[in-house]
Structures are given as C-alpha cells and as structure tokens.
Amino acid sequence: MHVEVRGLNKHFGNFHAVKDVSFDIKKGHLIGLLGPSGGGKTSILRILAGLENPDAGEIRLHGQLVNHLPPQERGIGFVFQNYALFKHMTVFDNIAFGLKVKKQSKSQIQDRVMELVELTGLSGFEKRYPHQLSGGQRQRVAFARALAPEPQLLLLDEPFAAIDAKIRHELRSWLRELIERVGITSIFVTHDQDEAIEVADEIMIINAGALEQKGTPWDIYKQPETPFVASFIGESTIVEHARELKGFDKLTGSAVEAKALIRPEYIEVGSEHEFTLLSATEKGKVRALHFRGSEWLVEVVVGNNKLITYRSLEKETLSVGQEVRVLVHRAYLFNDHENWMVENH
C-alpha cells in the first residue's frame, strides 16, 4: 500500500522525539529507517503501527486516514528484534495466531500456514517449539507469523539485531527476496548502514527526531544533503574549507564558503614518482596501513585532515611515516543551502 505521512510530531514529556516528519512510500517498496541510537526511528514505527499516538500529523495508508484506527484495524504486520514468539506454541500455532484472531476456518488456517511454512523455508519444523530452533529459524517464524494475515504494510524493528553476523547476512538477502515475492510495502529500522544500503530500495536518515534525507542508497551515498548524512554513511573526511585543497583553489561564488566531503574513492596516494602532475597534489604523510585481504586501507594526513583510501596491491609499497603525494580527484562540496560535486582541475 501507498504510505503518506505528513507533519508527524511526538513529545515524551518535554522531549521532542519526532520532529515534523513527512514522507511518502510507494507500494511494494522496502524502506530502511537508519540513524543513530535514540534518534526516533522506533517511535516513528510505533506511531505508524498505532501503538503510540502522535501529538500532530496525519498518517494515510492507501489514501485512508488511519490516525483514529487501533493497531489491529490498520492492516499492518509487525516484527520485533527479539522475535516475540509465543514460547508455549509450536511453529504452526505461532504462524496461525493472527488467523485464529481473525476467526478463519480450520481449513483456511491449515492452507495459509502451510503456504507460509513453505515460503519461509520452514517445512518440517511445524511441530517444533521456539526453543528447538536456531535464531535465524525463529526470526523466519516471526516473519511468517507477521505475513500470515496478509497485512498491507510490514514494519520491522531491527529484525536482524539479535542474529549473529554470518546468518544475518544470509537472512538479509532472504528477506529482500521474500518481500519482493510477496510484493508487500515494508519499513525496517536499523542502525547498521551496510544493512540499509544492501537491502533497502530507499533509505530515510533519521537524526535527533528529524528526517535528514530520503533517497535511494545511491543518492544517500553519492549526494548527501547534510554534513550529518555525509559523515553517517560510508567513510569520509570533511575538510572545512574546500578552497584550501590543491586543485580546488579557483572555486568562486558560493563555493568560497563550502566544505568538502572526501570519500576514499576520491583520492589516490603515492610516492612522488607515481604522479606526473605534482602541482595538483598535496603533500601528506602515511599515518597507518591496514591490510584488508584484497586491498590495503591507507590513512594519510594532509594538513589537519586524516584522509583514507584503498590500494589493491599484492604487496603494499608504502610505509607508515612516509612522505607521500595525495591527489584529490574530486570532492563533494556543500554549504548550508546546496551541495554539488566538483572535479580537480
């Protein structure tokens, strides 16, 4: 379903937890709510679900205003990070729970549960109890249970937080495929940027109660609109005055006051003889080298700034403390009003 949120606000006592948040979500899209702890992600999810009342704002699901509807009448499925399965019920009964509440017939329930058991790869586990399952399997039961009553919108609060790293990775792609297959509009909360980038169609960056930016993972990474988004997503260094960088000193107009965001892929580091045009490069010093398997992460200091880059080499030829040249190919510039990419020339 299409989700429309306008001017959402929520206070807890004097604390302004959700600040004037508005957004639209297209039917069938998977949205990641990403941001630091305490930013308001869970509060937004709980307000959408009807578990919390907003002080102001409108929520429309499929064009219908739902502010006055209780959670069970909103057509929303919910998955929490701690699975919240019923411990005394089998996998079958857990998945059947929402269908029994809806007073469906025995045969309808049987068919729907078996369909979901298959869809979530749980065939053969129907009679087990939650304590007889792995974390990943339990979480799949939680997804199946949330999907069983055919909700129009699925809300997932840190669905992978309690699962160990390796399984989490598999479960992410599994969820992505499942959601595509079912075609259900979904919103998941995470504080893990890799997870959001990998899984989401669009990311909403939530910081201190406000929506800082909404866009595809590509947009968010390549065109961050605020310094917060820039520093929260991916590796980057922010240089206070872009004009002080070699090759960027001819910037004029609003660029005079602009800051520069430098990502690892924007720079190259090497010894003097590795660059033909030395005048376009900065002097720097290698501060650290980290072996990353297929490549080296190089930390280099230029002026007051620590920049990083990657070099894919069999054997790293740089050494810590070495004086090097740093070529900044391009920089992402931003000031209070605008942001844009510039090339070194």
Terminal CA-CA length for the chain: 48
Q: Which of 34, 41, 154, 251 binds ligand ATP (CB under 6 A)?
A: 41
Residue 160 beta carbon to ligand ATP: minimum distance, rounded to whole angstroms? 13
Q: Considering only residues 1, 5, 32, 39, which one is a binding residue for ligand ATP as defined by CB under 6 A?
A: 39
* 112 is an interface residue for ligand ATP by CB under 6 A: no
Stretch that binds ligand ATP, among 40-48, 118-126, 215-223, 282-290 (CB under 6 A): 40-48
Interface characters, 175-204, with ligand ATP (x: CB under 6 A): ----------------x-------------
Instruction: Tell me the window of 36-44, 176-184, 216-224, 225-233 that interacts with ligand ATP (CB under 6 A).
Output: 36-44
Nearer to ligand ATP, 35 or 224 (CB): 35
Question: Per-residue contact track with ligand ATP, 296 to 315, x per CB under 6 A?
Answer: --------------------
Q: Locate 235 and state its tokens.
A: 């590796």
Gap between the Cα atoms of 146 and 200, Å rounded: 19
Number of residues counted as binding ligand ATP (CB under 6 A): 12
Beta carbon nearer to ligand ATP, 46 or 330? 46
* Out of 3, 25, 34, 42, the residue judged to bind ligand ATP by CB under 6 A: 42
326 in Cβ contact with 284 (< 8 Å): yes
Q: What angle do CA 290, 296, 297 make, to 5 degrees?
A: 60
Q: Residue 95 or 205: which CB sits closer to ligand ATP?
A: 205
| Window contacting ligand ATP (CB under 6 A); options: 34-42, 56-64, 83-91, 177-185 | 34-42
**Taking the CB of residue 84, how many other CB atoms lie within 10 A of it?**
14
Q: How far is C-alpha 221 from the geometric centre of its chain's CA atoms?
A: 11
**CB 199 within 8 Å of CB 176:** yes
Chain center to CA of 333: 23
- SS3 of 276, please? coil
Site membership for ligand ATP, residue 37 (CB under 6 A): yes
Q: Which range of residues in 41-49, 126-134, 197-205, 239-247 is near ligand ATP by CB under 6 A?
A: 41-49
| Contact assessment for residue 314 and residue 234, using Cβ atoms and an 8 Å cutoff | no
Place of tokens 């937004």: 44
Minimum gap (Å) between residue 45 Cβ and ligand ATP: 8
Instruction: Give which of 221, 239, 332 is closest to 284, Cα–Cα.
Output: 239
Crossing angle (nearest 10°) for helices 106-119 and 165-182: 130
In the structure encoding, which two tokens stand for residue 98, read together?
A: 């929402």
Site membership for ligand ATP, residue 151 (CB under 6 A): no
In whole angstroms, how close is the CB of 141 to ligand ATP at the nearest point?
A: 23
Among 1, 3, 8, 17, binds ligand ATP (CB under 6 A): 17
- Residue closer to ligand ATP (CB basis): 138 or 191: 191
- Per-residue CA distances from 69 to 48, 58, 228, 285 (Å): 11, 12, 35, 61
Residues 6 or more apart whose CB falls under 8 angstroms from that of 253 comprise: none
Q: Which is nearer to ligand ATP, 94 or 193 (CB)?
A: 193
The least distance separating ligand ATP from the CB of residue 157, rounded to whole angstroms, comes to 8
Find all residues with CB under 8 Å of 206, minimum gap 6, and list them: 21, 33, 34, 35, 39, 40, 41, 44, 212
Neighbours of 151 (CB within 10 A): 20
When binding is defined by CB under 6 A, the residue of 25, 43, 185, 309 that contacts ligand ATP is 43
Q: State the residues that interact with ligand ATP by CB under 6 A.
A: 12, 15, 17, 35, 37-43, 191
